[in-house]
Structure 1
């Protein structure tokens, strides 16, 4: 039996292998259906999206993240970075996925495909972003306040072991 980092490696169970094969089959079917109509357009979209992400977006949010880390580091609270990172990342992911609708660029196509109006996506995204940051701030405040049992724990910790 081979070992990987000190842990014996073993083959997956038959159920895992079956689920993996089914997921590959489903992904293959979706790919065939997607490429059936306009394979060149889809391929160009994937290449363009990969290039846009790797050459423009990744450096942009790396610089923004570095700025947030430096700001918290300068204040001496680097551990609080996650309270900004998580809501910002989720908001950016929503913006990236729904950008055409948030930007109002596909109103006619969206209405023809779904029969629904495409307005309101910008307001909803802003509301979701505000809720994400407000929830993060609330979690930060809840974790910042002292816990009522902390004095009791400290007193128990300071007692000699025989008293426990």
Structure 2
């Protein structure tokens, strides 16, 4: 693995893993969907220039309260293009800054946008004075895009394909 691969998050499957077909890789990625995961893997649209897209379920009623409660300020989606000839999935992340507005919070997208490989984490802590009189920090929430990207990447690697992070174009 080269330095550029490390910077882009590119990973190669283990030796001896036979590459599966593109249809099997697509099925494995779509198979990650479920009611208990806070993201959705769906088919991409022509305007997205992607075969598959993974995105957080921010607007779904069942998950909205979770994301509102945590006051998430950025949203990430991963665009994936299957490259059957080279047995790789090329990925790029899109990130938007978002804002929750109104009494019944709704999502408002800002103009702040970035594209590339996103690795940001969001954390929240509470500080409380303990019995010993000292302040103690407790982490109350962590939002990590790896919660979505790790299962995607693992499904691709298990299928014998390369997970190739790209910075600009798929």
TM-score of the two chains, using structure 2 as the length reference: 0.22
Kindly indicate whether structure 1 or structure 2 has the higher relative contact order, using CA contacts under 8 Å at least 6 residues apart.
Answer: 2
Which structure is larger by alpha-carbon Rg, 1 or 2?
Answer: 1
Q: Per residue, is there more strand in 1 or in 2?
A: 2
Q: Per residue, is there more helix in 1 or in 2?
A: 1
